[in-house]
Amino acid sequence: MKRLSEERTKILFEKLSKYIGTNVKQLIDRADGTYCFREHRDRVYYVSERILKLSECFSQKQFACVGTCFGKFSKTNKLKLHITALSFIAPYAQYKVWVKPSFEQQFLYGNHIPKSGLGRITENAAQYQGVVVYSMNDLPLGFGVLARSTTDCKSADPLTTVCFHQSDIGEYIRAEDSLF
Amino acid sequence: MDVVQEVLEKHRKELDKYKPITVEKHLECRLDVGTLLITDPNDLDDRQIASAEKENYLRALTRDNTQLLVNAIWELNTERVDESIVAKLPEPTTVLPRMRKPPGPRVLTKWEKFAKEKGITKKKKEKKTYDEVLDKWVPTYGFKRAEAEQNKDWVLEVPQNVDPNTDMFQKKMDLRNEKVAKNEIQRMKNIVRAKKIEMPRSGYLGPEAATSSQLLTAVTVAKSSTASVGKFQNKLPKEREARGLGVKELIPGAKRKQSHIADQPEKEANLDLIKSVLNKKPKLDVEKAISLQKQDERLARDAESGNKPAKKSSKKGKGSRKAVGKKPKGNRGQRAPGKKAAAGRKRR
Amino acid sequence: MGRKAEYSEKQKKGPGRKARKQGPPTFPKKSFAPLEVEDQKLSHRQKQRLVKRVQKKVVQKAKLKEKQAKGKQQVRKQKTYNSDSEPEDEVKKQQSSSDEEVPQLVPIPDIVKQKTIKGFTDENKDWLKLKKQQKKVLPKPEHESVDEDNSDEEEHSVGSDAEEDSEAELDSDSGNGFEADSDDEIEEEDSEDDGYDGTKVGKLDDLSDDDEDANSDDDFDVSDAETADSGENASDDDDDDDDDDKLPIERANKRLKKREAQEALLAEEEAQMAIDQQDVFKFPDENDEDESGLTLQEVQQRIKDVSLVLSDFKKYRQADRSRGEYIDLLRRDLCLYYSYNEFLMGKLMDMFPLTELMEYLEASEVPRPLTIRTNTLKTRRRDLAGALINRGVNLDPLGKWTKVGLVIFNSQVPLGATPEYLAGHYMIQGASSMLPVMALTPQEKERILDMCSAPGGKGSHIAAIMKNTGVLFANDSNRDRCNAIKANFHRLGIVNAVISCEDGTKFRNIISGFDRVLLDAPCTGTGVVSKDPSVKSTKSEVDVQRCYNLQRKLLLTAIDCTDAKSATGGYIVYSTCSVLPEENEWVIDYALKKRNVKLVPTGLDFGVDGFTKFRQHRFHPSLSLTKRYYPHTHNMDGFYVAKLKKFSNTIPLTKEQQEDDEKQLDEAIPTDQSTNVSNEDDAGAAEDTDKSSRKLLGKRAGKPNLTDIEAELKKKKLEQSKTKYVAKVFEKPIKVEKKPKANEPPVPPNLSTNGIQEKTKNIIDKKAKLKKNDVSALHTVLPAAVNGRGSNDKKQSAPAAQFNKKPSTPSHQYNKKQSTPPTKSNKGQKTLGAQSKKEQPAQLNRGQSPPAPQPKKDQPTPTIKSSKKELTPGAKSKKEQSTPSTQSGKTSKKSALVPKVKVNIDDLPILEGKPIKKQNLKHKSKQIGNLKKSKSGINAKPQTGNKQKFKNKK
* CATH number assigned to the domain comprising residue A153: 2.30.130.10
Going through C334-416 in order, the beta strands assigned E by DSSP cover 370-374, 393-397, 405-411
Question: Do residue A65 and residue A100 come from a single domain?
Answer: no
Residue C329 has pLDDT above 90, yes or no: no
Place C718 in a pLDDT band, splitting at 50, 70 and 90.
Answer: low
Give yes or no: residues C929 and C809 share one domain.
Answer: yes
What are the residues whose beta carbons fall under 8 Å from the beta carbon of B206, sequence distance 6 or more?
Answer: none
Partner-chain contact B271 A28, CB within 8 Å: yes
**Nearest by CB: A161 against B287, B298, B337:** B337
Which of C262, C270, C236, C241 is CA-nearest to residue C82? C236
Region of poorest pLDDT, from A115-129, A132-146, C158-172: C158-172
The verdict on A10 and A83 lying in the same domain is yes
Higher pLDDT residue, C91 or C309?
Answer: C309
| Domain count across chain A | 2
Of C500, C427, C413, C505, which Cα lies nearest the Cα of C462?
C427
Cα–Cα distance for residue pair C372/C368, rounded to 1 Å:
12
Is there a single domain that holds both residue A85 and residue A19? yes
At least 3 CB pairs under 8 A between chains B and A? yes
Q: How confident is the model at residue C196, as a pLDDT?
A: 41
**Which residues, listed in sequence order, are joined to residue A27 by a DSSP beta bridge?**
none
Note whether residue C391 is domain-resident.
Answer: no
Is A179 inside any structural domain?
Answer: no
Tell me, yes or no, whether C321 lies in a domain.
no
State how far the Cα of C802 lies from the Cα of C714, in Å rounded to an integer. 34
| Residue C412 contacts residue C480 (beta carbons within 8 Å) | no
Q: Are residues A18 and A79 in the same domain?
A: yes
C516 domain residue, yes or no: yes
Per DSSP, the three-state class of C291 is helix
Number of domains in chain C: 3
A180 in a structural domain: no
Task: Give the residue from A76, A159, A162, A163 with the most B CB atoms within 10 Å of its CB, the best one to mutate.
Answer: A159
Q: What is the mean pLDDT of residues C208-219?
A: 42
Residue C708 inside a domain? The answer is yes
CB burial readout B312-334, b (16+ within 10 A) else e: eeeeeeeeeeeeeeeeeeeeebb
Confidence of residue B307 (pLDDT cuts 50, 70, 90): low
Tell me which of B312-326, C258-272, C816-830 is least confident.
C816-830
Is there a domain that residue C171 lies in? yes
State how far the Cα of C878 lies from the Cα of C888, in Å rounded to an integer: 15
Residues C627 and C563 in one domain: yes
Query: Does residue B117 register a pLDDT over 90?
Result: yes
User: Do C646 and C555 form a contact (C-beta atoms < 8 A)?
Assistant: no
* Residue A157, domain member (yes or no): yes
- ipTM comes to 0.95
Same-domain check for residues C575 and C680: no
pLDDT, averaged across chain C = 63
Whether A148 maps to a domain, the answer reads yes
Domain termination site, one of C229, C258, C279: C279
Same-domain check for residues A70 and A18: yes
Judged by DSSP in three states, C344 sits in: helix
* Residue C12 lies inside a defined structural domain of this protein: no
**Do residue C593 and residue C699 come from a single domain?**
no
Same domain (yes/no): A37, A115: no
Residue C884's identity, in one-letter code, is: P
- What is the domain extent for residue C849? 655-953
What is the domain extent for residue A17?
2-89
Question: Are A129 and A79 in a shared domain?
Answer: no
* Full-model pTM: 0.50
* E-only strand ranges, C135-184: none
Residue C198 has pLDDT above 50, yes or no: no
Chain B positions touching chain A (beta carbons under 8 Å): 260-262, 266-267, 269-271, 273-274, 276-278, 285, 287-288, 291-292, 294-295, 298, 324, 326, 333-334, 337-338, 340, 343, 346
Mean pLDDT confidence for B15-38: 86
Q: Are residues C629 and C662 in the same domain?
A: no
What's the angle, vertex CA A59, arms to CA A56 and CA A61, rounded to 5? 130
Same-domain status, A61 and A112: no
- Using one digit for the tens of pLDDT, what is the confidence trace for C171-182? 444 444 444 444
H runs (alpha helix) in C243-284: 248-279
Last residue of a domain, one of A55, A89, A123: A89
**The pLDDT of residue C699 is above 50:** no
Q: What is the DSSP letter of C154?
A: H
Q: Residue C582's pLDDT is what?
A: 86
Residue that finishes a domain, picked among A89, A112, A142: A89
Instruction: Please determine, for residue C818, whether its predicted confidence score (pLDDT) is greater than 60.
Output: no
Contacts of A28 in chain B (CB under 8 A): 267, 270-271, 274
Q: What percent of chain A has pLDDT over 90?
A: 8
Of the candidates C423, C495, C502, which has its C-beta nearest A68's C-beta?
C495
In chain A, what residues touch B333 (CB-CB under 8 Å)? 116, 159
Looking at the structure, do residues C259 and C189 belong to the same domain, yes or no?
yes
Nearest CA in chain B to A126: B288
Going through C375-445 in order, the beta strands assigned E by DSSP cover 393-397, 405-411, 426-428
Touch criterion met for C and B (3+ Cβ pairs within 8 Å):
no
Clarify whether residues C608 and C674 are in a common domain: no
Pairwise CB contact (< 8 Å): A29 & B266:
no
Q: CB under 8 Å to C280, separation ≥6 — which residues?
A: C209, C213
Residues A25, A83 share a domain = yes
Helix (H) or strand (E) holding C363: helix C354-365
User: d(Cα A122, Cα A126) in Å, to the nearest integer?
Assistant: 10
Question: Is B264 strand, coil or helix?
Answer: coil
**Quick check: helix, strand or coil at residue A161?**
strand
Task: Among C279, C310, C344, identify where a domain stops.
Answer: C279
A79 part of a folded domain? yes
Per-residue pLDDT tens for C395-452?
A: 888 888 888 889 888 888 888 888 888 888 899 988 888 888 888 888 888 889 988 8
For residue C204, the number of C-alpha atoms closer than 13 Å in the C-beta half-sphere is 16
Same domain, C723 and C854: yes
Q: Is residue C528 part of a domain?
A: yes
The domain that contains A42 carries what CATH number? Answer: 3.10.450.220
Residue B303 has pLDDT above 70, yes or no: yes
Are residues A9 and A83 located together in one domain of the fold?
Answer: yes
Asked whether residue C625 falls in the same domain as residue C660, the answer is: no
Q: What is the pLDDT of residue B202?
A: 53
pLDDT: which is higher, A124 or C784 = A124
The H-assigned helical ranges of C529-679 are 534-538, 541-561, 585-594, 631-634, 655-668
Task: State yes or no: is C523 an active-site residue.
Answer: no
Residues C561 and C671 in one domain: no
Single-letter amino acid code for the residue at C890: K
Q: Indicate whether C747 pLDDT > 60.
A: no
Q: What is the pLDDT of residue C669?
A: 52
Judge contact between C457 and C518, C-beta under 8 A: no
Domain holding C535: CATH number? 3.40.50.150
Encode pLDDT of B166-211 as tens digits.
899 999 999 999 999 999 988 888 888 888 877 766 555 666 777 8
Residues A82 and A6 in one domain: yes
By C-alpha distance, the chain B residue nearest A26 is B271
pLDDT of residue C56 exceeding 50: yes
Binding site residues of C for S-adenosyl-L-methionine, as ranges?
Answer: 452-458, 476, 503, 520
DSSP B136: E
CB contact under 8 A, A112 and B337: yes
Domain end call among C279, C302, C319: C279
Residues A84 and A98 placed together within one structural domain of the fold? no
Nearest CA in chain A to C468: A67
pLDDT over 60 (residue C800): no
**DSSP β-bridge partners for residue C576:** C640
The whole-number pLDDT of residue B275 equals 86
User: Among the listed ranges A79-88, C4-13, C364-373, C937-946, which one has the minimum average pLDDT value?
Assistant: C937-946
Residue A52 maps to a domain: yes
* Residue finishing a domain among A50, A74, A89: A89
Q: Looking at B42-56, B212-226, C562-576, which range is the least confident one?
A: B212-226
Residue, of C819 and A70, whose pLDDT is higher: A70
Angstroms from A179 CA to nearest CA on chain B: 25
Of C493, C497, C502, the CB nearest to A62: C502
Q: Report whether pLDDT(C833) > 80.
A: no
